[in-house]
A and B are shown apart, each in its own frame.
Chain A
Amino acid sequence: MKLKTLIVLSCMLLGGSVFSAAQEVTDATALTDTAAVAAPRPIADLFARDSENDHGHSLTLSWTISPDDGAGQMNVIGYELYRALSPDGEFELRGKFPFGAASYIDVGAKEKESSQYSPDHTDFYYKVRALTSDPEVFTDSEIFGPVQSYGQWFNTGRIPVLVFVIGFLTTTVILIRRARGGADLFVRRLPGIEAVDEAIGRATEMGKPILYVLGLGTAADIATIASYTILGRVAKKVAEYQTGLIVPCYDPVTMTVAQETVKTAYADAGRPDAYSEDMVYFVTQSQFAYVAAVNGTMLRERPATNIYMGKFFAESLILAETGAFAGSIQISGTDEIAQIPFFVVACDYTLIGEELYAASAYLGREPLLLGSLKAQDYAKAAVILLAIIGFLTMNFGLEGFKELFYISN
């Protein structure tokens, strides 16, 4: 929503400012330039069509600039676009542009009650007025029309995305089937995940708890959801070993899900009574206050192991350094590229980017999950292949290959 408002606002601002700039040009020139201005020649080839790949209420216009724009008499300072419902009807101003402009997308609102409403399937007639520094002197173009706007049902500009979605989905489903059929799927070691079991054992021996930090992600981050799977696994082990578990949460929704996850894990481990609501608690939804509190917990509870999995930002190093100072073993994983270096430097084990997502499949060892992991590898192989082809085609000047990957909007 915020983004949407922002875009709308900035469009309005931009539109408004171009408009006002054009306005200033006209007004000021009128004041300074008293000499008579000759009428400019009109623009040519005015053409309007429905805008592609949208939900209607929008028309795309193009024209050839007036011969007096930047050449000839050099007296064109801008254009105005007018629209009417019939060729001899009342023309309404739709836009103002500086000189040199030769195209415009006339977007109306789709809500009927809006003042900017522009109906679909309605005939419109357009004309473009070439302006001079004298507001009295201008030339209109020939009228173009009728033209209608209408919505498309399918956005062809996004075909590359669709192709990939379908390809990936098919591969995943096929591989999951194959895995279900009993095909043995190899998965390489992930030292960071293997260390988890070891670390829980160590915590049990030391009689100290395990601290699990889900990061600053909300439930809207896939990394956080990936983290639940690992949390579920850790909680189950912890329940079996009867070690303590501390899960301070940053986001209330995240906390809710984490509570469910841990509760389930304790039930699965056959110790539902050992679960306590105090294990998973909310701290605060403010980055550095959260860090301050977790830092305090680390030095006061002295957990044997700290596990950081999910989305992390600037706090990554503060947490990891304090944990190292407290003498805990630290295992981390994040998909936040800027923070991976800090975890790599300060933690004992780090799951780098994609490894975080692979971890859940690795832990589950279910054929379903392994099948999807295999599909990821196929996709990477495809990327490498494409990169080689791209490398070669670029060298022989075949830029067209790259264009295939162009997503229009």
Chain B
Amino acid sequence: MSSVGLIISLFIIGAGLLWLLILSLTGREVERRIVFLFIGLAVSVPLLFNITFSERATPIVLDVFDKLEDLPPGSKVLLSYDYGPSMAPEVEPMSNAFLRHSLAKGHKLYLMALWATGQSLVATAVDSIIKREFPDKVYGEDYVNIGFKAGGTGVLNVIITDFRKMYLTDVDGLDLDSLFIFDGVKSLRDMDVLISIGGGFPGVKEWVLFAGAPGNIPTAGGCAAVSAPLLYPYYPRQLLGLLGGIKGAAEYESELKKRYPRFETMPTPGIKMMGPQTLAHLVVMAFIVIGNISYFISRRKRS
């Protein structure tokens, strides 16, 4: 039923645009309500019928993916949740993708947060993703949640030389020394890659300036679309790669789906949110093309 609706609506959009293109060849202008109608369709159809597009990862995203991919299993990945609920719709897909990728690859995962709001989001992620999708992974061996510590950049200044001076226990009060995963781990410098998710303060920028750059540790990030332009200048010298907004998340998710058959059926909110976006962008571009065609035809007619 829904696929019929999907085909019909996509056909309407496609055929409609084609028809407008043909009309524009006669130099006719499209009424703005028609433009509105197409935008309305382009956004609501993917929402209703769940249309997705396969995303191809851009180098800035691929660099992060490949880094996690190229590290030997058992490497240490630190994931910091530096965001709150309001930013979550945009960046949560990223943190989930990083979680899945690291665990599937067999990396050791260290979870923490520089935002107080991040701690509960870590807990949610542990319950809803790790425990459900990776039941074989053992807490304290394969992954650990050391939670939130206040102090922002101060925390980074400390844990870059020694975790145990800031974190004596994990989030549940277990001594770090009793956790197998912390054997031989002294500071951030023992991590193979640092990933910060969140574009606010403290966030990706602080991780780069206070941990990645001084400790010479590969650092990657994910952030909301609005903050991405401010972070681009750090790529690729100080920043390994960056996932900017929903698009970045969607690219990572599709890369993950492509390389790991087990993620065929995983929920991909990033890709899902990109459906309306992509279709709307295509419609806008189509209208720009149509507008220019009718402009040139009518100008030629006039002259």
Query: Per the CB under 8 Å rule, do A and B touch in the complex?
Result: yes
Residues of A with Cβ closer than 8 Å to B? Answer: 13-14, 16-18, 20-21, 24-25, 28-29, 32, 70, 77, 98-100, 325
Q: Are B165 and A99 in contact (CB under 8 A)?
A: yes
Q: Is the interface of A mostly helix, strand, loop or mixed?
A: helix
B168 proximity list for chain A (CB < 8 A): 24-25, 28-29, 32
**Closest partner residue, chain B, to A13 (CB atom):** B150
B175 proximity list for chain A (CB < 8 A): 32
Query: From residue A81, how far is it (CB to closest CB) to chain B in Å?
Result: 16
Query: From residue A340, how far is it (CB to closest CB) to chain B in Å?
Result: 17
Q: Are A18 and B166 in contact (CB under 8 A)?
A: no
When each residue 173-194 of chain B gets 1 if its CB lies under 8 Å from chain A and 0 otherwise, what string results? 0010000000000000000000
Interface size on B, residues (CB 8 A): 16
Q: Are B166 and A25 in contact (CB under 8 A)?
A: yes
| B157 contacts partner chain A, Cβ-Cβ < 8 Å | yes
Query: From residue B33, how far is it (CB to closest CB) to chain A in Å?
Result: 10
A25 proximity list for chain B (CB < 8 A): 165-166, 168
B152 proximity list for chain A (CB < 8 A): 14
**Closest partner residue, chain A, to B160 (CB atom):** A100
**Closest partner residue, chain B, to A33 (CB atom):** B168
Contact of A17 among B151, B157, B162 (CB under 8 A): B151
**Closest partner residue, chain A, to B158 (CB atom):** A98
B162 proximity list for chain A (CB < 8 A): 70
Q: A20-B150, A21-B149, A32-B175 are in contact. Are A100 and B157 (CB under 8 A)?
A: yes
**9 smallest A-B Cβ distances: which pairs?**
A17-B150, A28-B168, A18-B151, A98-B158, A21-B151, A17-B151, A18-B154, A21-B149, A32-B175
With A18-B154, A21-B155 already in contact, 14 other A-B pairs whose C-beta atoms are closer than 8 Å: A14-B151, A14-B152, A14-B154, A17-B150, A21-B151, A21-B154, A21-B166, A25-B166, A28-B168, A32-B168, A77-B165, A98-B158, A98-B165, A100-B161
> Could you list 26 examples of A-B contacts with CB < 8 Å?
A14-B150, A14-B151, A14-B154, A17-B149, A18-B150, A18-B154, A21-B149, A21-B151, A21-B155, A21-B166, A25-B165, A28-B169, A29-B168, A32-B168, A32-B175, A70-B162, A98-B151, A98-B154, A98-B157, A98-B158, A98-B165, A98-B166, A99-B165, A100-B157, A100-B158, A100-B161
Query: From residue A112, how far is it (CB to closest CB) to chain B in Å?
Result: 31
| B301 contacts partner chain A, Cβ-Cβ < 8 Å | no
B151 proximity list for chain A (CB < 8 A): 14, 17-18, 21, 98
Query: From residue A231, how far is it (CB to closest CB) to chain B in Å?
Result: 30
Query: From residue B215, how far is it (CB to closest CB) to chain A in Å?
Result: 14
Q: Are A21 and B150 in contact (CB under 8 A)?
A: yes
* Alpha-carbon distance A160/B82, docked complex (angstroms): 36
Interface centre among B161, B162, B165, B166 (most CB of A within 10 A): B165
Query: From residue B260, how far is it (CB to closest CB) to chain A in Å?
Result: 38
Q: Are B154 and A325 in contact (CB under 8 A)?
A: no
**Closest partner residue, chain B, to A31 (CB atom):** B168
* Alpha-carbon distance A16/B149, docked complex (angstroms): 12
When each residue 136-165 of chain B gets 1 if its CB lies under 8 Å from chain A and 0 otherwise, what string results? 000000000000011110110110011001
Q: Are A325 and B32 in contact (CB under 8 A)?
A: yes
* Alpha-carbon distance A17/B166, docked complex (angstroms): 12
* Alpha-carbon distance A17/B157, docked complex (angstroms): 15
* Alpha-carbon distance A70/B32, docked complex (angstroms): 68
* Alpha-carbon distance A29/B162, docked complex (angstroms): 14
Q: Are A99 and B32 in contact (CB under 8 A)?
A: no
* Alpha-carbon distance A13/B202, docked complex (angstroms): 14
* Alpha-carbon distance A17/B116, docked complex (angstroms): 11
Query: From residue A35, how far is it (CB to closest CB) to chain B in Å?
Result: 13
* Alpha-carbon distance A356/B155, docked complex (angstroms): 46
Query: From residue B156, how far is it (CB to closest CB) to chain A in Å?
Result: 11
Query: From residue B165, how far is it (CB to closest CB) to chain A in Å?
Result: 6
A77 proximity list for chain B (CB < 8 A): 165
**Closest partner residue, chain A, to B178 (CB atom):** A32
* Alpha-carbon distance A357/B260, docked complex (angstroms): 58
A100 proximity list for chain B (CB < 8 A): 157-158, 161
* Alpha-carbon distance A20/B175, docked complex (angstroms): 19
**Closest partner residue, chain A, to B177 (CB atom):** A32
* Alpha-carbon distance A14/B116, docked complex (angstroms): 12
* Alpha-carbon distance A404/B264, docked complex (angstroms): 58
A32 proximity list for chain B (CB < 8 A): 168, 175
* Alpha-carbon distance A280/B93, docked complex (angstroms): 49
**Closest partner residue, chain B, to A98 (CB atom):** B158
* Alpha-carbon distance A29/B176, docked complex (angstroms): 12
* Alpha-carbon distance A98/B157, docked complex (angstroms): 9
* Alpha-carbon distance A28/B105, docked complex (angstroms): 34
* Alpha-carbon distance A25/B168, docked complex (angstroms): 7
B149 proximity list for chain A (CB < 8 A): 17, 21
**Closest partner residue, chain A, to B154 (CB atom):** A18
* Alpha-carbon distance A98/B161, docked complex (angstroms): 12
* Alpha-carbon distance A21/B155, docked complex (angstroms): 9
* Alpha-carbon distance A14/B151, docked complex (angstroms): 6
B161 proximity list for chain A (CB < 8 A): 70, 100
When each residue 253-279 of chain B gets 1 if its CB lies under 8 Å from chain A and 0 otherwise, what string results? 000000000000000000000000000
* Alpha-carbon distance A28/B149, docked complex (angstroms): 14
* Alpha-carbon distance A132/B168, docked complex (angstroms): 14
* Alpha-carbon distance A32/B169, docked complex (angstroms): 10
**Closest partner residue, chain A, to B116 (CB atom):** A17
* Alpha-carbon distance A99/B162, docked complex (angstroms): 10
A16 proximity list for chain B (CB < 8 A): 150
Q: Would you list which residues of chain B between 7 and 39 have a CB under 8 Å from chain A?
A: 32
A325 proximity list for chain B (CB < 8 A): 32
Q: Would you list which residues of chain B between 236 and 294 have a CB under 8 Å from chain A?
A: none
* Alpha-carbon distance A325/B166, docked complex (angstroms): 61
* Alpha-carbon distance A21/B166, docked complex (angstroms): 7
**Closest partner residue, chain B, to A321 (CB atom):** B32
Query: From residue B14, how far is it (CB to closest CB) to chain A in Å?
Result: 26
Query: From residue B169, how far is it (CB to closest CB) to chain A in Å?
Result: 6
**Closest partner residue, chain B, to A99 (CB atom):** B165
* Alpha-carbon distance A161/B134, docked complex (angstroms): 59
When each residue 36-65 of chain B gets 1 if its CB lies under 8 Å from chain A and 0 otherwise, what string results? 000000000000000000000000000000
**Closest partner residue, chain B, to A27 (CB atom):** B168
Query: From residue A221, how far is it (CB to closest CB) to chain B in Å?
Result: 23
Interface centre among B150, B157, B169, B175 (most CB of A within 10 A): B150
